[in-house]
A and B are shown apart, each in its own frame.
Chain A
Amino acid sequence: MITVYHYLILSALLFVIGIYGVLTRRNAIGILMSIELMLNSVNINLVAFSQLFEPLNLSGQMFALFIITLAATEAAIGFALIFVLVRNFGTLYIDKVNLLKG
């Protein structure tokens, strides 16, 4: 019997994996991919709660759709920023970008 706890634990696991990626990746594309992991794990929660508590009301799925579209725009903006980073600094590794370091 699959309950909502299964989905909660799965999404918590994926969320902490995404946080680990954000904290340890050196290149900016890897960080962007880890952020996508975190957004997807939140979506699982929304759809699971919508389906297992109010199956006739689709509001939770609507919010999952909003997050999907916002994640797509976020990826586009993120890649534009990465291109600017590569053009100005010639590198993709964020530990090489230390312009504000004293």
Chain B
Amino acid sequence: MAKIIHAVSFYFFALITVISALVVVSGKNLFRNVLALGLFFFTIGGLYFHLNAHFVAASQILLYVGGVVVLVLFGIMLTPNIADPQEKQSSEQKIPALLIVFSLGGLLLFVFMVTFLVLSTKFIFPQPREIISFAKLIFGNYLIVIELLSLIFLSTIVGVAILTREEKN
């Protein structure tokens, strides 16, 4: 019974994810595309819950739905004439793009078929002390990487402030 629920929830989330991704890349109205992007981020968070990665799911929803989608919405509202549905949104390069997409997808499928992976048959339940293991990794093995990330954040803030300031003659 648990396995059936597991499978059904996976297909549910996968279907919504693929549909919202298609709306994001092919919709005409940019505002609706952004809303589809928010739905996409939510369902990816659902897939992380499905994989027992609760901390990653919470960060996904906080950072993407709370941060990136709001940023994109502000970007749309601050730029003139962007939410105009009359304007054409896709270029004339659809056939070459489809060619590239299908060849890359076929290559990926071929690689999946010839690669032998040992499949785990265990149904894994959530870890009891997931946050503690995360804290041990953050302040232990990956401390230098976290420090580098904070450096990247600092340079991002400075760079954005310099790029977007008003020009004075």
Contacts and interface: CB of A to CB of B under 8 A. Distances in A.
B133 to A, nearest CB: 5
Among A3, A24, A29, A51, chain B packs the most CB atoms within 10 A around the CB of: A24
A6 to B, nearest CB: 7
A37 B64 CA distance: 11
Contacts of B24: 21, 33-34, 37
Contact of B25 (A18, A56, A92): A18
Q: How large is the interface on B (under 10, 10 to 19, 20 to 34, 35 or more residues)?
A: 35 or more
B152 A73 contact: yes
B101 A80 contact: no
A54 to B, nearest CB: 10
A76 B91 contact: no
Q: Is the interface of B mostly helix, strand, loop or mixed?
A: helix
Contacts of A33: 24, 33-34, 37, 72
Given A27-B89, A30-B33, A73-B152, A58 B134 contact: yes
A97 interface: no
Contact of A37 (B40, B47, B96): B40
Contacts of A73: 152-153, 156
A9 B119 CA distance: 15
Given A29-B82, A61-B53, A77-B160, A69 B44 contact: no
Contacts of A56: 127
Contacts of B60: 43, 68
Interface string A40-61: 1001100110111101101101
A2 B75 contact: no
